[in-house]
Structures are given as structure tokens and as C-alpha cells.
């Protein structure tokens, strides 16, 4: 009887583990559906290089957006970079609206959250909750079985399409408005601001809304 109970307990444990990882579903054709977020990821995390669009896959944000907009994969269009919001309480750091003194005159920026542990955005959700990533550790060495659903994952920065923090137009002296963008590091699970927004560079991990 004790043996039967032990066997059942182990079986239920395996079911629980499988259920926890079942939110990523391989749809074939290089597409991975996330049932949690109702989005489909492109399994090739450096498709810009694989497809021959870019020699290394490392691109400026504008180039990545233009490339993604023209893609049709498996008969499906609508591929794009993940978006980013300003506030995410799961992040390790919060930056209040304040003066950024990195330029001669400075600018006042809207508040935002950044750092590790950010799961409110789609890329952070993928890194931590789907792939088993750990803050401060490279996804290539610390991950779960879902990691093997993807190919060409770079231990580097991946691009977000969106503004993390807005220049509020308040300048102590002459200056130009420069909004902050963001990218996500698969080397340590961190979400980091980039200034100015349009100078952002990184790799492109694409998604589309819905199932395929």
C-alpha cells in the first residue's frame, strides 16, 4: 500500500511539473504558442541572421521593426517585437520622475521600473516563468526543458518596441526631447533603459498575437 501511495505521489508530481511547462506549445513550423499570454513566439531567436536579413542579427530598433513588419512565416503575418510598459511592480528597481544629469542640461523623465525579476512584460514572462530563467544567471546555463523549444537564443540584449520613460519636456536649459527605450538581457534576466530610444540596438525575438 505504501508503495502504491509513493507511486501515485510521484506520478502526480510529474503531472504537476508537466502542467507547469505546458503553457508553451510547439505548433510546428518554428512557432511556439504561449497559452498564458495568447501569443505565438518565433522559435528561432535570431531569425534575422538565419533568414539572411542581417549578418549577425544585431540591429538598430528601426531596422528590426521594418524587417518584422514585412515577414510572413508559415502563412502568418503580424510578427513584431515585444512591447514594453513603464511600470511593473515585479521589477527589482523603481525610478521616480527625476532629473537625469547625464547631459549638460538634463531632462525630467516619467517614472519607470527596471532591473531583474520583471515578469509583467512578455519577454520577462518568457524568461522567468516559461523558460525557468533565474535573475543574475545566463539563460544558456540555467533553464528548464522549455528552453529546448527555441533555437539560436543569444545571451545578449533583445529589443523592446516601445518607450520605457518619456521625456516630459522640462529642461533646466536648452535641450532636445529624448525618450528612453529598453532592452532585455538573456544573460542575466535584466530589463534596462536605453537613451535615446531610437539608438537602441540588440537582437530580435519576434511574436504575433494569438494562436496559429
Contacts 24+ apart (CB under 8 A), 191-197: 191/84, 191/88, 191/91, 191/113, 191/114, 191/115, 191/116, 191/118, 191/121, 191/123, 191/124, 192/114, 192/157, 193/95, 193/112, 193/114, 193/164, 193/165, 194/164, 195/100, 195/102, 197/61, 197/163
Per-residue model confidence (pLDDT) at position 12: 42
Question: Which DSSP string do the residues of 91-144 spell out, in sequence order?
Answer: SSEEE-SEEE-SSSS-EEE--EEEEE---SSHHHIIIIIIS---TTS-TTTS--
Q: Smallest Cα–Cα separation from 88: which of 128, 38, 59, 61? A: 128
Per-residue model confidence (pLDDT) at position 186: 98
Question: Per-residue pLDDT tens for 137-153?
Answer: 999 999 999 999 999 99
Question: Per-residue pLDDT tens for 116-129?
Answer: 999 999 999 999 99
Mean pLDDT (whole number) for 182-202: 93
Q: Is the pLDDT of residue 175 over 70?
A: no
Query: In the numeric block, which cell numbers belong to residue 188?
Result: 542575466
Which range, of 35-44, 166-175, 195-204, averages the lowest pLDDT?
Answer: 166-175
Question: What's the whole-model pTM score?
Answer: 0.85
Q: Is the pLDDT of residue 89 over 60?
A: yes
Amino acid at each position: 500500500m505504501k508503495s502504491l501511495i509513493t507511486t501515485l505521489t510521484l506520478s502526480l508530481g510529474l503531472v504537476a511539473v508537466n502542467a507547469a511547462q505546458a503553457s508553451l506549445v510547439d505548433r510546428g513550423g518554428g512557432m511556439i504558442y504561449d497559452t498564458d499570454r495568447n501569443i505565438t513566439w518565433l522559435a528561432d531567436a535570431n531569425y534575422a541572421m538565419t533568414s539572411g536579413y542581417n549578418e549577425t542579427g544585431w540591429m538598430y530598433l528601426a531596422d528590426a521593426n521594418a524587417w518584422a513588419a514585412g515577414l510572413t512565416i508559415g502563412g502568418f503575418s503580424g510578427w513584431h517585437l515585444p512591447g514594453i510598459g513603464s511600470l511593473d511592480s515585479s521589477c527589482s528597481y523603481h525610478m521616480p520622475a527625476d532629473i537625469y544629469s547625464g547631459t549638460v542640461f538634463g531632462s525630467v523623465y516619467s517614472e519607470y521600473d527596471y532591473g531583474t525579476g520583471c515578469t509583467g512584460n512578455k519577454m520577462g514572462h518568457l524568461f522567468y516563468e516559461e523558460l525557468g530563467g533565474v535573475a543574475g544567471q545566463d539563460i544558456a546555463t540555467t533553464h528548464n526543458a522549455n528552453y529546448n523549444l527555441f533555437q539560436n537564443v543569444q545571451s545578449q540584449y533583445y529589443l523592446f518596441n516601445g518607450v520605457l520613460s518619456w521625456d516630459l519636456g522640462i529642461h533646466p536649459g536648452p535641450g532636445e526631447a529624448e525618450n528612453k527605450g529598453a532592452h532585455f538581457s538573456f544573460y542575466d534576466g535584466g530589463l534596462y533603459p536605453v537613451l535615446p530610444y531610437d539608438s537602441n540596438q540588440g537582437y530580435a525575438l519576434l511574436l504575433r498575437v494569438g494562436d496559429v
